[in-house]
Amino acid sequence: MTEKANAHIFVCTNKTEPECLGRMLFGTSKLYAADVLSVKSGDLLFLLNVNSDVLYGIFRAKSDGRQNIVPEAWKGKYPYQVEVEPIGNVQAVKDAKKALQKSGVEWHKPLSASMAERLLTSFSYEDSEYLKETKEKWGLLTPQKVNNRQTSFAKAIGELEEKPPFEATTLWDYPRQRYGKTPKGNNKYPGVTPAFIIWNMIQRYTEPGDLVLDPMCGSGTTADVCKEERREVICYDISPTRPDIMQNDSRKIPLPDNHVDMIFVDSPYGDNIRYNENLDCIGKISSETETFYEELDKVMSECHRVLKSGKVIGWLIGDQWVKKKFTPVGFKVYQRLSKYFETVDIICVVRRGQASHTGLWYNRARRFNFFLRGFKYLFIMRKPSEEPEKQEKRAVKWAFYERNRSKVNSS
């Protein structure tokens, strides 16, 4: 049976290349942590210098990808690392970006089987004793056979698991509820959380092994994402849908103070959805009443208690418009959260898969002059540190740009 092997391209610059090749260690920042942690011992690796436009190869992963193999490497700037060893002599391919583009290889993304096939043809490896000995094991191609799509290497390398984009702006959009080949929660569950939101949260604000809490876990999306990304996770719900979600009311969380590294909450937005039949469910209270926010305040207080100082909570919430009345649920929830937490940022998450997102409802919204809900808020908040930081005067240098008056006048 052919042994599985994946392929990855690491990136360096003129400044970082000597350390990569000198230490036989490839590394990256937290931005690509998930990609590095997916590297397994034996995977094929390549190194692209984006300054000199040279691609080095072929390397084999000597270790699994993990954090801080050599903590002092690159002065700690690239802590997600993998140890490597060359397969035969290290070779260099010049004009690499052009060659990669011509072969349809996207170097800034994980390599698919077909990309890795094409990439291998850029290197001459028939003279490598190591590859001759392991050719059957790895299913490596020779340049003469690269056009044969039904190769053992394609089967061995497989298509890599899809990952969401690492979001850089405050507008998050997503094509569907889940990503990858494995389910993340149940997309039939009422009000199911988009998995990519949780993925982005834990990539930014946690490390592998950190403990994540979801006190209103619903169908288990948070649990599935955390387990796949090697985070510890505790999930509660007032009406559990599966065995790994413990029964509990989020207004009283059975955990000690300062215990968890991150919290994610996708709370009810009011009584617009029938989540379950539990009479104590907050989702049975109308968001038009103050009682709804008082009950959520109890959840916020408990989250503040169990969250470690300086750590982050993400709270997903949407507004309500029903029977010609708008309720700014998001603003009201944010106001309550601000009593306990400091604001990191506010994200606008595009709403998809809504029952009202049909031609019929779009037509009604235009005819009767109302708006369908198009987004949710994701409030990213931080529990203040126990020791207050010294307030220093901030000096901000803004960049101002001259307007091109000639163009303005000519228009």
CA 235 to chain centre: 19
pLDDT of residue 339: 96
Average pLDDT over residues 367-390: 86
CA 237 to chain centre: 24
CATH of domain 171-382: 3.40.50.150
User: Which tops the pLDDT comparison, 366 or 142?
Assistant: 366
Average pLDDT over residues 403-410: 59
pLDDT of residue 407: 55
- Least confident range from 94-98, 99-103, 237-241, 344-348: namely 99-103
One of 3.40.50, 2.30.29, 3.40.630, 3.10.590 is the CATH number of 7-157, namely 3.10.590
Model confidence at 108, pLDDT cuts 50, 70, 90, reads: low
* pLDDT one-digit tens code per residue, 184-223: 988 888 778 999 999 999 999 999 899 999 999 999 999 9
Average pLDDT over residues 259-275: 90
User: Which tops the pLDDT comparison, 270 or 293?
Assistant: 293
- Whether omega before 69 lies within 30 degrees of 0, making that bond cis, reads no
Model confidence at 124, pLDDT cuts 50, 70, 90, reads: low
CA 158 to chain centre: 22
User: Which tops the pLDDT comparison, 131 or 258?
Assistant: 258
Residue 368 DSSP class: T
Q: Tell me the C-alpha to C-alpha distance, in Å, between residue 17 and each of 13, 48, 73, 225, 349.
A: 6, 9, 12, 34, 39
- Least confident range from 193-197, 393-397, 402-406: namely 402-406
Give span(s): CATH 3.10.590, the chain: 7-157
* pLDDT one-digit tens code per residue, 46-89: 999 999 999 998 898 999 999 999 999 999 999 999 999 988 78
Average pLDDT over residues 366-386: 90
Query: To 5 degrees, how large is the angle CA 26–CA 29–CA 32?
Result: 90
Beta partners for 81? Answer: 27, 66
Contact 102, 44 (CB under 8 A): no
Give span(s): CATH 3.40.50.150, the chain: 171-382
Q: Tell me the C-alpha to C-alpha distance, in Å, between residue 355 and each of 74, 232, 359.
A: 50, 34, 11
pLDDT of residue 11: 92
Average pLDDT taken over every residue of the chain: 83
pLDDT of residue 150: 35
* pLDDT one-digit tens code per residue, 307-353: 999 999 999 999 998 888 999 999 999 999 999 999 999 999 998 86
User: Which tops the pLDDT comparison, 176 or 156?
Assistant: 176
pLDDT of residue 389: 65
